[in-house]
Structure 1
Amino acid sequence: MELHPNPSSDYIFLSEMQSGESFEISNQLGIVVRKSILKNKKIDINTLPAGIYYIKTRDSISRFIKK
């Protein structure tokens, strides 16, 4: 999965996912902090505290940094 920008402070864009696909965002401790269905290729991460996160989809897991 390709996501950008990384690091980011507001949004991440997922270039290989389609609308309607589900995803989970977990923190470094493995705690799921968000679980949702993609409405467009953009995910709002503005409310997450700064840190390292993992986004899991049906096919892959990627790491991103929230500034």
Structure 2
Amino acid sequence: NENSTLGQLSDYVLHSISGEDYQMRTAATMSLMAQLYVVDILFYMYVSEHFEQSYQNLQKTSQAIKQLGQEPSS
């Protein structure tokens, strides 16, 4: 909400559906999916602006996940 304290301090206000007009529990799912979509777009925009560093960090993350999968479980 651009009228909120955070909205007034922000350079950009991102809107997504609230799902209040939908029946049952689909509203929560629709709202969550819209928010995840916005986060994905922001992520890809950041990666496209900082490709080299982002690529290196993604490689490091991939390696760390592989190493975690190879550790014996306790």
**TM-score using structure 1 length:** 0.20
Whose radius of gyration is greater, 1 or 2?
Answer: 2
More strand by share: 1
* Larger RCO (CA under 8 A, 6+ residues apart): 1
More helix by share: 2
**TM-score using structure 2 length:** 0.18
